[in-house]
Structure 1
Amino acid sequence: MSNMTDAWYQLKNVDRLDTPALVFYPDRIKQNISILKSFVTDVGQLRPHVKTHKCAEVTRLMLGAGITKYKCATIAEAEMLGMCHAPDVLLAYQPVLTKMHRLSQLIFNYPQTTFSCLADNVASAAMMSAEAEKLGYRLNVFVDINVGMNRTGILPDRAFELYQFCSALPGINVKGLHAYDGHIYKSDLQKRTQECIEAFAPVQQLIAQIEEAGFSKPVIVAGGTPTFPVFAKMPDVECSPGTFALWDKGYGALFPDLPFLPAALVITRVISKPNDYTLCLDMGHKAIAAENELNKRVEILNLPNLYFTGHSEEHLVVKTAGPNSVNIGDVFYGLPVHICPTCALYDRAGVVSNGLLTTEWKIIARDRMINY
């Protein structure tokens, strides 16, 4: 086992922790929030996505830093934000059927929070308007624009008609436009910037068309973590990075221009040693996101140069380059390649302060439903 003296991630009381376990490092989360703010001239440009951490305590750190606008993807995440008294919450999802009823419940049960959602077609907008009108309120809506992700959203050249249609509905208050460009993730910042600006150009034309028609200036919510440095330079755009709060191996390697720090790890132990070259860790599919290829799921920080040979529900089998002196029960620290789905595998995270496990934070919005 390699020497971990002075390693930022080392836990002095790791024997308190059963594994596999997700752990957060709040001092690093705070640094990441400060780094995020350093990219913009006005904190009002920030609308961070909470889908990575799904945690009330992390949200409160952002609120304490003056961030008042948030983005989320699920009703549970929206409710978590309401429970934290976040002033402005965009559900970046188009609700259908029961989800619309649940959103209405949040609007009435968390009146201190202004909720919004997305619409990308006439039928959904009409349904949302009818629901809001029936319950006696006006729903805040952003028209969702497809800028190349080809997942949701209406194409920019068809969006003005939808914008007009939504604006005429009695139950809807059109706030602006939402444009997510998750398909843009080139490592080189210059190339990424060029792609981002090209994809966003039709949205800028749409903005001009909306204003020329006499509508008030739309609020623009755009981008994710990869294109955050591009939109951060546009004062009229609200930026929505999410991964920045916890960071991970994948984005750290792909985007060297983004100086965020890893702030969440998965701690694991050796549970079996078939031979001098082979170790079995308690870090299966249920402990670490497994959507990437086998050797691109996690980096073991204190045991480098591993080759992964097998991954199943409860086990990760690895080989070392040569004979190793690792013992059964030894502790290793894993940096996830993709932290977002990894975090969603856990109902709580241990909290590390000054090298000590001190408490735990619930990943409360991991559940599909909290109260409503």
Structure 2
Amino acid sequence: MTPCRTLSLLGCLIWGGIMVAPVAHGDEPADGSPTKQPPTSAQITSWIDQLDSDKFLLRENATQKLIGAQQAAIGPLADAVRTGSLEKAFRCIHVLRAFAIGDDIETEIEASAKLALIAATENDRVGAYAGDVLKRIEPIQRERAIRVLSGLGVKFTSYAPMQGFQGLDEGPGIWITNDYTGSAKELHYLQHLDFIEDVQIENDKITADWFAEIAKMPSVHLMTIKDGPVDIEMLRELEPLFLKLNWLRLYYLDLKSSPAAMLEKMTSLHHVEMFGIVIDGKELFQDPQQQERIRSALPGITTTDGLKFRSGGFLGVRGSADGNRPPCVVQSVDQDTGAYKAGLRGGDTVIEVNGTKVEGFMHLIELLKDKKAGDKVKMIAVRGTETKELDITLGKWQLREIY
């Protein structure tokens, strides 16, 4: 029989001819009587023995009771796969499958691990079937992960490069900001997001456990970490991603020790930005020795554009594609930035900053890279025939925008 998957009006899942009810805490058993005591080991063993009974209703009843037993049944079910008939093995796998797509995280983790073990160790139809089940539940786990994480405040984004703002890779991503109301426990669902390439983090409550969960994501190759109580020990939890990362942005972190040894392991990096970073009490931008140590740890990055150090002042404008030539024409200005609030707009030509003539857009960036968030700059810009004198307060670099 070809396995099929539908959801009936009664909320039961039909899979390969076996009716499996979804896992839900607090549900009553199939016979409608209230749950009073957790099942004993003897009861679980008895139900497993009934899975290959010659009576269909007995098999179905045992299946539903095992689902009601929840986490207590996982170990015995996995062990029973190797004993008895093919019918019993398949029904054990289906009950484990129900746990793997349920709403309890611990139960899902354990059941998924058991299914993976069965798929890896059983070199027969049972192992192949367990592997097939794992593949088939991936979309279900992914959809549930999106639903749960979105409900907890994780933002899902997609990016496209903007004209004049070079160096942005395309790819779907997520933001984990202070809007996130969950804990490290719920971040377990991140590992089901195999389509996510970019993770951006700006959260005051972040812990090492958060990074440990993020490190399980299968397809991440871009990472931005901004603000928050982040130190080197926490960043080391990301080690499973080290060889995958192509882009790394570290903004406004107070690190107690050098990240050089950690960066040395990230051999696939081709772009690193370190803005507003403090290492052992000293600003990185003002520490040439520490900068050189970091450069030496990243021999694969050979251009100055690939490794950037700045004090962290953010103007919030984009310029022409040929930024090395005059004039310095502003193409767009991000809203909610000091530049926008001061009156700078797209189409303006910047001619002077803090008394220095601006030769081009890249020169403007160079003039500002030693400025910190909160610093004030005086700018002269031309709009048509009108000259404007602007007092701008620089902000912090932002997470990549949602397009």
TM over 0.5: no
TM-score by length of 2: 0.29
Bigger Rg over Cα = 2
* TM-score after normalising by structure 1: 0.31
